[in-house]
Structure 1
Amino acid sequence: MQKLTAIFAATLIACGINSAASAQSASPPIIYQPDQDSPIGARNPEAPEQTQELSFLIGDWDVALIIHPLEGEDISYAARWHNSWIVNGYAVMQEWRGPYATGVELRSFNPETGRWEGHNYYTFRKTWTESSGEFVDGEFIIETRDVGPNGPFIGRERYFEIQPDSFRMSATRSEDDGATWSSITYEMLCTRARE
C-alpha cells in the first residue's frame, strides 16, 4: 500500500498537485471498462483542413510513462490511450486510462484563432481545465493552464518523433507565465496497440 501511495503521490506531483493529504487519502487504483470503447469514427471532410493534423493520434495506444518527481527516484508504469473522432468528425476525444488516474481531453481546431482548443478532465483534478495547441515544425505543442500548490502554472506537452505506429511526448511546466520552464516532469512512449 505504501508503494501505491508513493506512485500516486508522484503522479499528482507531475500533474501539479503536491499535497501530502491528497496522497494519504488516495483511493484504490482506477477501475475502468476497457471493452467499452467509443467508436473510432472518421474525420469529416467538411471540417477545417487543419483538423487532419491530429489524425496521427486516432486509435488505441499502449503507453510507457516515466514520471520525474522533484524528489526521489523516477517512477514508470503503463497506461492505455483511446483516441477517436467525435462530433461528426469535427473534434478529437482522447481517453486516458492509467492505473492511478483516468481522464478525457476534447480538442477541436478553431479557424479564427488558428489553434487547437481543448478541455481536459482528470480524476486527480476533478475539474475542467482549458488547453490550447498548435503544430510547430512537425511537432504538436499543447499548453494547459492549471493551479498547483505554488499558484497558477502552465503545463506544456510536446508530441514529437511522430510516426504511423508510435510517437513520443514530454512535459515541462512554467510557474512564471512562460518566462522560464522546468526540466522534463514526465515523458511517454506511445506505441499503437495491436490487440
Structure 2
Amino acid sequence: MQHRRVTLGVLVIVLLAGCSGAVPQSTPDSEPTTDAAAADRPGPSWNVTVMRVIDGDTVEIRYQNGSTETVRLLGVDTPETPPNSVSPGEFEGVADTDAGQDHLTEWGGRATGFAENNLAGRDVRLVVDSQADRRGGYGRLLGYIYVDGENFNRLLLTNGYARLYESEFRYRDRFAAAEATAQQEGVGLWGYQ
C-alpha cells in the first residue's frame, strides 16, 4: 500500500512538472479586463509582455508565469523583409516586378518598425480566437494583440502595413473592410505606383 502511494505521488509530481511550461488554458491572472474591447473578444486571453518583435506580424511574448511563446498575428500578413523573399502576387495592385518587390521589402521593414514602436517591451493583451486554428503551420500561436484596448492586427491593415490573410477567424469581415479602405485610399503599401 505504501508503495502505491509513493508511485502515485511521483506520477502526480511528474505530470505537474510536465505541464508547468504549457500555454495557460485559462486566464492566469485574477485581474478583470477593464478595456472597452473586452466584451467583443473571441476567446481566452492573457496579459503578456512583448519581449521581441520578430517582424511586422510575429512577436515573442512572455506570460506572467515566465514562460515564453512566439505569436503570429492572426488574420494579417506583412511583407517579408529579406530581399527577394516577398511575393508581389500576394498583394493586389502591386506589380510582380523588381520595383514591386523593392516596394514590398521597404514596407516590410516599415511594418516591423511600426510593430517595434507600438509593441516592443509593452504589456499587452493576447487573445486567441475560438473560430480559428490555435497554431499556424510553423507551430506559432495564432492570436490578436490588444494595445490600450485597440486590436493591433487591425491597425496593421488600417495603416497599410499588411494585407488580409486568407483564413477563417471571427474578425474577418472587419479586417477585410479595413484592408479595402486602405487600398482605396492608397494608404501605406497600397500606395504603390
TM over 0.5: no
TM-score by length of 1: 0.24
Structure with a larger share of its residues in strand: 1
Structure (1 or 2) with the greater helix fraction: 2
Higher relative contact order (CA 8 A, sep 6+): 2
